[in-house]
Structure 1
Amino acid sequence: MSERWARAILATYRWAGAAAYPFIGGYIVWRVTKGKEERTRRHERYGRPSEPRPEGPLVWVHAASVGETIAVVGLVEHLLKSGIHVVLTTGTVTSASVAAERLGRRVIHQYVPLDLKPAVSRFLNHWAPDLAVMAESEIWPVTILELGARRVPQVLVNGRMSDRSFERWRRHPFLAEALFENLAHVVAQSEVDGERFRKLGARPVTVSGNLKVDTALPPVDEAALAGMQAAIGTRKVWAAVSTHEGEEKIAAEVHRMVRKRHPDLLTIVVPRHPERAEALAEAFADEGFDVVRRSSGGEIGPQTDIFLGDTIGEMGLYLRLTEIAFVGRSLAGEGGQNPIEPARLGTAVLSGPHVENFRDAYRRLIERGGARPVRDTRMLAGAVCLLLENEGIRRAMIAAGRSAVEEMSGALSRTLMALEPFIHPLIVKSRLQGGNGRAA
């Protein structure tokens, strides 16, 4: 495929999206019925703002979901302290809740516009950002091209390129280059990610490490934590967190197997998508398990088998109730979920083999002895038993995990250094205009 054809394909994509725009309403309404959109704010997905644009320099920061939102909090706080306005977009209801919890009204939150020309153009016409910062793997063709046409610098931070995405882009090198050449800078998570972006035509590319290492520890309601710890008492506890479909069933089977050796076992299950909780609770009950849902306000009792963590923004609570955590999307799913938070909060980390999206973090944790991979349900049950019965091994894994994470720190300062050429002119502009931003 030649460069000319690549540009023709991208142009066709842009205008095909514009043609489909009038018919997209049904899709958004369907998402509202599934709880995937806020009914009163669905207009934001069409690029229609819900707040006025403040005067002065403004940076658009986009973080698709919860993990990305948490990762950019430190960067956003630096911008705010510098007197620069931030409009933060996210793509999910849960990430919007996290943004409100961590940043409040210091930022302007909007749902990200659909990657369709009318929506993106309306969004950019209103907010007129001086800089666009996208987190991790957010490669939206129309958005990138529209920002490029307006000569708005675009920087990808905490950049990640999965095996599947890399292979897909590598099959269409001219198409990849036509998009990635619009990026003013890519700040990659690892050397592997950085090299992949370079091969696809991005320039310049630097490596920062993972921003998620430099975030504040997840908050916790101390009263709720103390109450649950009292209710649990001396019972054996392990957790399966950030689980995807199929892994909750695995966790229940592990509970059944381990309970033969530890009759007082409590299993904590925290699904990645809390909206699945009702169906999960019914499935657990059908299997004969006594289930308590956090969202229902029920209390953990002596007979409780499974404590279902079906609330948003309480991972800090769930992880502080245990010293053993299986991190999901790694046995039944693919790609893995972030193990850094569990390691920082003092758990021995277990995972399946499919952790491609967090390869570098898992490599470091496994090398130091802070994480152990398992192949299947039986091996997971064996690992849970081993850690429950051997405090020395468990404590050594916890210490090794914390040490590995500490070695990975520094990503925020390296990212800010890469962003300095883009941010400094905005700081100067803000000061010249009197610094009348929300960060006062």
Structure 2
Amino acid sequence: MPLLKLYRLATHALTPLAGPLLNWRVTQGREDPARLDERFGVATRERPPGRLIWMHGASLGETLALLPLVERFIQRGAEVLVTSGTVASAQLLCARLPAGAFHQYMPLDAPAFVDRFLDYWRPAIAIFAESELWPNMVAALRARGVPLVLANARVSRQSAERWGRFPGAARKIFGAVDLCLAQDADNAARFIGLGAPYVRVGGNLKYDVPPPPADPAALSAFKGAIGARPVWAAVSTHDGEDEQILDAHAEIAQQVPALLTVIVPRHRERGAEIAMLAQARGLSVALRSRDGDPQPDVAVYVADTVGELGLIFRSVGIIFMGKSLAAGGGQNPIEPAKLGCAVLHGPSVDNFLEVYAALGAAKAAARVNDARALARAVHYLLSDPKRMRRMGRAGAEVVEKLGGASRGIIDAVEPYIAQVAIEGR
């Protein structure tokens, strides 16, 4: 039996288990209990009249990358539905989406839920970020004649190799994509190999994402709490990195006793765990969610809240980007670079090679291989504020020059929307 047919039968048969699964995820903090119906394809708000553009990103990074497109479609008079699959992305999007756009959760990929979702929203076009393709949703869009576009499209070499083990399924799914706008030539080649029929290099939307906002009063209070203390931040840290961050703090603090180290875990629920690691080393620690702004006696400050990276990036001149000392592929450094921060990172940045290479070439970012190298780099920059500011200015210039993908993507997508309008769908 063909793999995709088996998948469809399995998801149909397992539909009765969706409720218990989602209820379990609620207990883990991975679903919003107040909006659980959306995961069954049930709308929790009215569909606006007229042309509706649907955009989808799997989680926080992918959906934020869509914001420049959202703005441009709204300027053209469209209403925009944005979906995602994580609680963190929903919370941030609800705060940052402009008027004319709104958020719903992506339904689970069961035929009944997908049909209910599409029958209600009736999108003119579906624009998915990166390579978030669910077989039942792709088939349902094709059956309804809704154009499917991959924007900011990216598929890692490892993912492409996994898809390559099932060439028939890959051709069926990627062959249903009407237009694939890849981030770069390497990704374009991988999508062509997977069977996407129309592939172009569209650039990286993440360069066009506006910097994260910061509440002025909160920013003023946070900066006031830091005062003149030397400070640096490790952002989007993952398991296995926090110990190295704390080791680096201990080494720097031997020469900089007033040092404040800010740790922003990628998953905020890890905040208490990181605080315990710091306490076990004899360090004074505070959690933003519990203790508010950092007090003078705090050495390690864990910013375990959502939507406050703008505050951190505007208050701290040195940012270490996590998921890079561990073998994770790195995190996106564009936002801190846009706000003039000097960027440090570990050796594992495969997911963002282009931007790290550009920042490195401009001497706006530096690689560190372990906790000791991280400590040396942070201490060097703290001791040379002019160098730190030069790195920050260079990074802001780099990301400014690399922007502009959203304009080209809108131009590429417009003919598909116009064709839908002509055909009256």
Short-chain TM bin: over 0.9
Taking structure 1 as reference, are residues 104 and 413 closer, same or farther at Cα in structure 2, changes over 3 Å only?
Answer: closer
In 2, are the aligned partners of 1:84 and 1:427 still within 8 Å (CA)?
A: no
Corresponding residue for 1:433? none
Structure-2-length-normalised TM-score: 0.95
Corresponding residue for 1:438? none
* Distance in 2 between residues matched to 1:385 and 1:408, nearest whole Å: 30
**Is residue 388 of structure 1 aligned with residue 382 of structure 2?**
yes
* Distance in 2 between residues matched to 1:374 and 1:167, nearest whole Å: 30
1:66 aligned to 36, 60, 69, which one?
60
1:322 aligned to 297, 316, 319, which one?
316
Taking structure 1 as reference, are residues 50 and 261 closer, same or farther at Cα in structure 2, changes over 3 Å only?
Answer: same
* Distance in 2 between residues matched to 1:54 and 1:381, nearest whole Å: 53
Equivalent pairs, count: 425
The one-letter code matched in structure 1 to 2:39 is R
Task: Within 5 Å, give how 1:165-184 maps onto structure 2.
Answer: 165-184=159-178
For residues 91-144 of structure 1, give each alpha carbon's deviation from its aligned partner in whole angstroms, at most 9, with x where no partner exists.
111111111111256323211011222211221121121210101121222211
Task: Within 5 Å, give how 1:41-56 maps onto structure 2.
Answer: 41-56=35-50
1:420 aligned to 414, 417, 425, which one?
414
The one-letter code matched in structure 1 to 2:68 is G
**Aligned residues with identical type, % of pairs:** 44
Secondary structure of the structure 1 residue equivalent to 2:11: helix
Secondary structure of the structure 2 residue equivalent to 1:86: strand
How far off its partner does 1:272 sit? Answer: 0.8
* Distance in 2 between residues matched to 1:299 and 1:112, nearest whole Å: 35
In 2, are the aligned partners of 1:57 and 1:429 still within 8 Å (CA)?
A: no
How far off its partner does 1:175 sit? Answer: 2.3
In 1, are the aligned partners of 2:81 and 2:102 still within 8 Å (CA)?
A: yes
Secondary structure of the structure 2 residue equivalent to 1:183: coil
Task: Within 5 Å, give how 1:140-219 maps onto structure 2.
Answer: 140-219=134-213
Unmatched tracts of structure 2, length 5 or more: none
Unmatched tracts of structure 1, length 5 or more: 431-440
**Is residue 82 of structure 1 aligned with residue 79 of structure 2?**
no
Secondary structure of the structure 1 residue equivalent to 2:315: coil
1:245 aligned to 202, 226, 239, which one?
239
How far off its partner does 1:168 sit? Answer: 1.1
Secondary structure of the structure 2 residue equivalent to 1:157: strand
In 1, are the aligned partners of 2:153 and 2:183 still within 8 Å (CA)?
A: yes
Corresponding residue for 2:15? 21
In 2, are the aligned partners of 1:160 and 1:357 still within 8 Å (CA)?
A: no
Corresponding residue for 2:296? 302
Secondary structure of the structure 2 residue equivalent to 1:24: helix
The one-letter code matched in structure 2 to 1:387 is L
* Distance in 2 between residues matched to 1:393 and 1:81, nearest whole Å: 40
**Is residue 278 of structure 1 aligned with residue 272 of structure 2?**
yes
For residues 318-346 of structure 1, give each alpha carbon's deviation from its aligned partner in whole angstroms, at most 9, with x where no partner exists.
11121111111111241211010011111
Secondary structure of the structure 1 residue equivalent to 2:140: helix
**Is residue 9 of structure 1 aligned with residue 3 of structure 2?**
yes
For residues 371-390 of structure 1, give each alpha carbon's deviation from its aligned partner in whole angstroms, at most 9, with x where no partner exists.
11221222211211221122
The one-letter code matched in structure 1 to 2:103 is H
* Distance in 2 between residues matched to 1:169 and 1:368, nearest whole Å: 36
* Distance in 2 between residues matched to 1:391 and 1:298, nearest whole Å: 27
Corresponding residue for 2:262? 268
The one-letter code matched in structure 1 to 2:135 is P
* Distance in 1 between residues matched to 2:102 and 2:223, nearest whole Å: 37
Task: Within 5 Å, give how 1:114-125 maps onto structure 2.
Answer: 114-125=108-119
Taking structure 1 as reference, are residues 145 and 426 closer, same or farther at Cα in structure 2, changes over 3 Å only?
Answer: closer
In 1, are the aligned partners of 2:78 and 2:100 still within 8 Å (CA)?
A: no
The one-letter code matched in structure 1 to 2:36 is R
**Is residue 236 of structure 1 aligned with residue 230 of structure 2?**
yes
In 1, are the aligned partners of 2:114 and 2:136 still within 8 Å (CA)?
A: yes
In 2, are the aligned partners of 1:57 and 1:426 still within 8 Å (CA)?
A: no
The one-letter code matched in structure 1 to 2:76 is S
How far off its partner does 1:297 sit? Answer: 4.5
**Is residue 38 of structure 1 aligned with residue 32 of structure 2?**
yes
* Distance in 2 between residues matched to 1:81 and 1:105, nearest whole Å: 11
Corresponding residue for 1:363? 357
* Distance in 1 between residues matched to 2:113 and 2:51, nearest whole Å: 22
Secondary structure of the structure 2 residue equivalent to 1:382: helix
In 1, are the aligned partners of 2:71 and 2:98 still within 8 Å (CA)?
A: no
Taking structure 1 as reference, are residues 428 and 386 closer, same or farther at Cα in structure 2, changes over 3 Å only?
Answer: farther
For residues 47-97 of structure 1, give each alpha carbon's deviation from its aligned partner in whole angstroms, at most 9, with x where no partner exists.
111123233221211122122222111211222232222221111111111
Structure-1-length-normalised TM-score: 0.92
How far off its partner does 1:217 sit? Answer: 1.6
